[in-house]
Structures are given as C-alpha cells and as structure tokens.
Copies of this chain bind each other. A is one copy, B any other.
C-alpha cells in the first residue's frame, strides 16, 4: 500500500525545543540555588509539571506556571519578587526564543514533498506552535497544519481522514516514541522515529521492537529512502 500522506512532528523534529527547555531549567535552578540543590529543585519541578498537565496541558505557558509553583514550594514561600520576575522572564524568553530549522530539514522537506502531502502534526500550545511555525519560515512547505492537545491513535485517524486518506497509507515521523511512533502504529500507519539528542522524560517510551511498519532513522532526510522502499514493495 503506497504512502500518500506524510505527517511530521515539529518540536525537536523540525527545530530545537528540548534544548530551550533545558536552558530554562538551568536558569531556574540557579535562581533558586539559595533554597535547594539542583537535583531537589528538578525533582519538585518534574512532579509539579506532571501533576499540572491534567490542568494546563502541554506547552511553555503551563511550564512557566509550574516553575512559579515550584519556586513557591522549594522556598517555602520565601522567594523574592526579583527572583519571581526572573522566572517570568525566563518563561517569556522561551515563548520568544528564535526558531530556526534543524540542519538538513529544509532539503528533506523538499524531497519529501515529492513523495506525498506533508502535514505538520504537533501537540502543545496553539498560539506558541503557530508562532514558532511562522518564525521558522517552514509554514508554506506543509499542505496542512494540525495542532492537537494530545497525539492518540484516534487523533491520527481523524487527521489523516480529514486530509483525504487513511492511516494505513500514511506515515508519521518524529522524535517522540510515545507521541509520534506508538499511537501511529496503533492507528495502523507507518511510523519513523527520528531521535533528537535530548528527550523530555514524559515523551520517552520503549520502542515497538521488530514492527514491519516501524523504522528508526538517523535524520529526517533518510525518510525519503524508506518511503521509496515502501512504495517499491507496494508495487512489486
């Protein structure tokens, strides 16, 4: 069955994201250094973030609110107004961080566009993801942009249907085993895992093993070769 729709993740697939989060974590740990060692701050921040996902969802705004909550907690409410302001600024700097395509991404998208309809599929904050896409200059490369609150098999099903296809003729590529790979395979589609050097613990998951519709690839550019293999196998 040939592939006609190609879904591509955004954060850490098209541009850096986790790096920006890690930089912000470091800045946050330094700001609260007088109250606790970095590992304790990290542990509290991580717990706060996980707990708050049910209320805030994903994204930099919810993360900023979790930093503030953590600052109040680790300082026992003694954190100064000046440090609070710095935390707010760290959050805003994340939102305004420059966005540049990862090396090789633009060339890979040109090649991929010859093989199917490209759909950007990303989760997180609607406004921030749209802003990042605009800043990246990659918007015109995609036939569709789908910003969703969670990536589930059902959501993949609906997205590919909306774009005139079905998951079994679609492929999803991204750096998250948990969001880009496993639910797409469950929906009956192809999934390519293109790892980024850093991964948020929340997105980590075990690989699907020797699955006929799964491939781990070193870079987005390698996706073309796999798609050509799939198309060739479909014809033979």
Task: Write out the residue numbers on chain B whose beta carbons fall within 8 Å of the beta carbon of A47.
Answer: none
Return the contact of A85 from the options B55, B59, B65, B77 (Cβ within 8 A): B77
Task: Write out the residue numbers on chain B whose beta carbons fall within 8 Å of the beta carbon of A125.
Answer: 57, 125-127
Report the nearest B residue to A66, measured CB to CB.
Answer: B88
Number of identical protomers: 2
A30 at interface (Cβ–Cβ under 8 A)?
Answer: no
- Tell me whether B88 and A72 are in contact (CB under 8 A): yes
In this complex, how many residues of chain A approach chain B with their Cβ under 8 Å: the count is: 36
Q: Is the interface of A mostly helix, strand, loop or mixed?
A: helix
Return the contact of A68 from the options B59, B84, B148 (Cβ within 8 A): B84
How far is the CB of A48 from the nearest CB of chain B, in Å? 11
Residue interface mask A153-164, B partner, CB < 8 A = 1: 000000000100
- Tell me whether A56 and B88 are in contact (CB under 8 A): no
How far is the CB of A41 from the nearest CB of chain B, in Å? 16
- Tell me whether A127 and B95 are in contact (CB under 8 A): no
Task: State in angstroms the CA–CA spacing of A84 and B58 once bound together.
Answer: 22
Residue interface mask A34-71, B partner, CB < 8 A = 1: 00000000000000000000011111011011001100
Task: State in angstroms the CA–CA spacing of A166 and B84 once bound together.
Answer: 48
A235 at interface (Cβ–Cβ under 8 A)?
Answer: no
Centre residue among A55, A72, A79, A130 by max chain B CB count within 10 A: A55
- Tell me whether A68 and B88 are in contact (CB under 8 A): yes
A75 at interface (Cβ–Cβ under 8 A)?
Answer: yes
- Tell me whether A84 and B72 are in contact (CB under 8 A): yes
A224 at interface (Cβ–Cβ under 8 A)?
Answer: no
List 28 A-B residue pairs with CB atoms under 8 Å apart, sorted by A's residue number: A55-B92, A55-B96, A56-B61, A57-B126, A57-B127, A59-B127, A61-B61, A61-B62, A64-B65, A65-B65, A68-B68, A68-B88, A69-B88, A72-B84, A72-B85, A72-B88, A75-B81, A76-B81, A77-B80, A77-B81, A77-B84, A78-B81, A79-B81, A125-B125, A125-B127, A126-B147, A126-B149, A130-B149
7 further A-B contacts with Cβ under 8 Å, apart from A55-B95, A77-B80, A77-B82, are A57-B127, A59-B127, A61-B62, A68-B88, A76-B81, A77-B84, A84-B84
